[in-house]
Structure 1
Amino acid sequence: MTSQLRSSDVHTAPLPRSRGPISAEVISRLRSPADIGPWPIQVASGEPYGEDVQLALAVLYEMHYRGFDGVDAEWEWMPGPLGVRAQLEQLFLRALRHDVPECDDPDAVLDDLCHEARDAWGLSHQLAAYGTWEQVREYFVHRSIYHLKEADPNAWAIPRLTGRSKAALVAVEFDEYGGGHAERLHSRLFANLLVAAGLRDDYLGYLEYVPADTLATVNFMSLCGLHRARIPMLVGMFAAVEITSSPGSRRMVSALERLDAPPACITFYAEHVEADAVHELVLRHDVVGDLLAKDPGCAADIAFGANASEFLDGRLAQHLLTAWAENRSSLTAPAVPPMQ
């Protein structure tokens, strides 16, 4: 495989259509040249998990990644968008604090995630046993919002950690970024998966088509990673994702093999079966363990990060399963073309 750049490596997406008054105002202001003036946008009445709030957050967070076509890059650190983003984050966090049980024992939380009940049933179980190729491709669309920037939100933690936890997290990220080989980047492997499945591989190419529940799972990663004070939450989230990724990826391999999917689709999940089983151990013992040894007071934030991530993933899974049970698309608009 060559290491030539693909569209997913260089593309910046256009600004999406708004989904309510908050996102409409944010998107409208970003179309203008950057300035240091405030943005008097009222967000208090927004629904924390709703389409308007989550899209506005996703757009504002994207200013810290690749940005959007035609949007002044100077907006990234201007007071207007940062002030609105802070209000939206407070709205989102308050809802999560209300809905996610308090816990100050991250080891117990992560232990629970390691031991799946015999009768457990979730999205990957459904896809492995009964999923259709159309449903699997629709699932790929949802996951493209994260997997085409895979590992980037977690990289924000690197300059905020020290010693053993920094070294261990960098080791995990090194794997996520292909071990120094561009063609092995996990984001590249997912782009290959999309192409093999007859889908677009451009970065944020499906932003217009995924619901708020999808955006919320990625927004939570950015919310944690972009704030030094929330790095323990990011570490808890990262550990939870790696613990659940390996068994979930194994079920996806089963689903894809059952459906005789293209090899590139299977390769992406097969890579995560092996890699994430190792990452789980490194994160638990060398990152979480080191953080707790240095600051036992961060235990509740680590536990919250893990539990909030699971809560948001559960909302997304329920959205997909409900839609499919009702024989309708889980996307906000038709996005999955028929295979040629």
Structure 2
Amino acid sequence: MLTQDILKAQLGTLQSSMSEVTVKPFMQHAERWFADEVGTDLWTYLKALPPTDAAQAELLRLTQSCLAWQCYSLAFPHQKFRVGDLGMMKASPQNAIAVTKWEYADSRDANLSMLDLSLEYFWRELEIQRPAAWTASSAYQERQRHLIRSAAEFGSLLPIAGRNYRFFQKLLPHLADVENDIIRVTLTTQVYKDLMQKWLAPEPAFSFEEEMLLTHCRKALAYLGTYEAWPYLPLSLNETGISERRDKSGMLEEVAADGNLRQSMRQQLYNDGQKRLAQVRSFLDETATSTLFSSYYQQNLVAGAVIPDDDFTNKPHVIL
């Protein structure tokens, strides 16, 4: 699907003299990566889109943009050197000088930012177009099973996090744990199940009360999911052990925040998450009836219902 002409058209700054042979392996890896991201059914559909289809032109353009920037990001570090019988060398054409460290690091980060942006625009356009090849696929079901599905949605709920696709992918396991362990338990399993059945439908139809409940749940999920992920975010774990990442680009040095600031921020995330979780309970207390959110009503609001005591085990605060 990705060709040299598409690559040049999407990147704009790519030299016209770069041959397809040079970047072909990276094109293939980019295509394989994107197929894994969107699922086999949608990937097959996207590959078959004709360039003349005006209705799908934007979706096709964004697909090509994702592929091109992923290909370029993969190839970028390898373009600095040439390897031959004499070993590894750095090419220095006449009247050209090598870029500085900060220029290279800045360009690498800019490439990844363009990839993040292309992916977010792609998913947004896909939600608008909603082709049957997507809504009927197993990849659609997998994506929809999360109450927060994208970096754009996450950033709108927790603005300080921005809209970083790579960051959001690392948060997904923690968001899934909070959704199952806290949100589901708060709603009751039956209320959560009923909401998710509609959420997974290709054309979901929610009542006003269900829309409001989902809004409250998603806000709580964003804060509590980040709270759960917080201790692991600055750490890298591999065969050499555990290390803390520090980015030194030559232009701007970023160091990890001190322990007090990190703990204060994590505590604030917890407090804000609990505040929004309380709003979920308050909304259910106000609206639940024997016919609306009936499982929650029977468990928590019917006279004589046993409400379990709050469990503050392993919580970072003291009740006086």
Greater CA radius of gyration, 1 or 2? 2
TM over 0.5, shorter chain: no
TM-score between the two structures when normalised by the length of structure 1: 0.30
Structure showing the higher strand proportion among its residues: 2
Larger relative contact order (CA 8 Å, sep ≥ 6): 1
